[in-house]
Amino acid sequence: MELLETRVDVDDLDSFLARLDEIGSRHGVTIQAFDARYVADRRHLERAVALADRAVDRGENVARDRAVEILLYAAGRRQIDRALEMGLSPGENRAVILIEGEDEDDALADLDALEAVVDREPTLGEYDEEVLCSFFGITDAERAATDATLEELVRERVALLEVAK
């Protein structure tokens, strides 16, 4: 799994996402773009990929598309429309773009060349704490009751999606 940490400026979201699909298809990889404010850390996305692949292998997937299934697990939700909040929006975004598959390096080079990619810059670990807590339903009381980090609590929500099925 490769991650492109970057700032992207998206004029037309549908066209941008279609371009990601095109690059993914050309290189035989899965590509999913996330708003970095919603991504706790690399392990958050690694866990989402592993659980999505397990769901597909078992025939328990909700989405037909692997990238969408990964998004569902990353969001800790089974409803696609609610999970999409983690995705990019029109305008400038601090993004984490996940590339997973055989030809990751060439796909990454193509992504880097996209006009919308403004700058590579660190985005992982620079999440918005308030956004993460709100999106994943992590309360102040829960945080006070544990010594787990926010990243660990988010990864727990990803794992709990399996239990909630």
Give the single-character DSSP code of 107: H
Give the single-character DSSP code of 87: S
User: pLDDT at position 116, please?
Assistant: 85
Q: Give per-residue burial for 107-116: e unless 16+ CB within 10 Å, then b.
A: bbebbeebeb
Please give the structure tokens belonging to residue 117.
């990619």
Please give the structure tokens belonging to residue 141.
């009381």
Tens of pLDDT, residues 30-66 = 999 999 999 999 999 999 999 999 999 999 888 999 9
Please give the structure tokens belonging to residue 121.
């810059």
List, in sequence order, the alpha helices (H) in 96-148: 104-112, 129-136, 140-144
> What is the rounded average pLDDT for all residues in the chain?
93
List, in sequence order, the alpha helices (H) in the chain: 13-27, 42-58, 66-75, 80-83, 104-112, 129-136, 140-144, 150-164
| Total-model pTM | 0.92
CATH code for the domain defined by 2-164: 3.30.2380.10
Tens of pLDDT, residues 70-99 = 999 999 998 999 999 999 999 999 999 999
pLDDT surpasses 60 at 165: no
Do residues 34 and 132 lie in contact, with contact meaning Cβ atoms separated by under 8 Å?
A: no
Domain residue spans of the chain: 2-164
Tens of pLDDT, residues 11-37 = 999 999 999 999 999 999 999 999 999
What are 70-73's contacts with CB under 8 Å, separation 24+?
Answer: 70/30, 70/32, 70/45, 70/98, 70/100, 71/32, 71/34, 72/161, 73/47, 73/48, 73/49, 73/158, 73/161
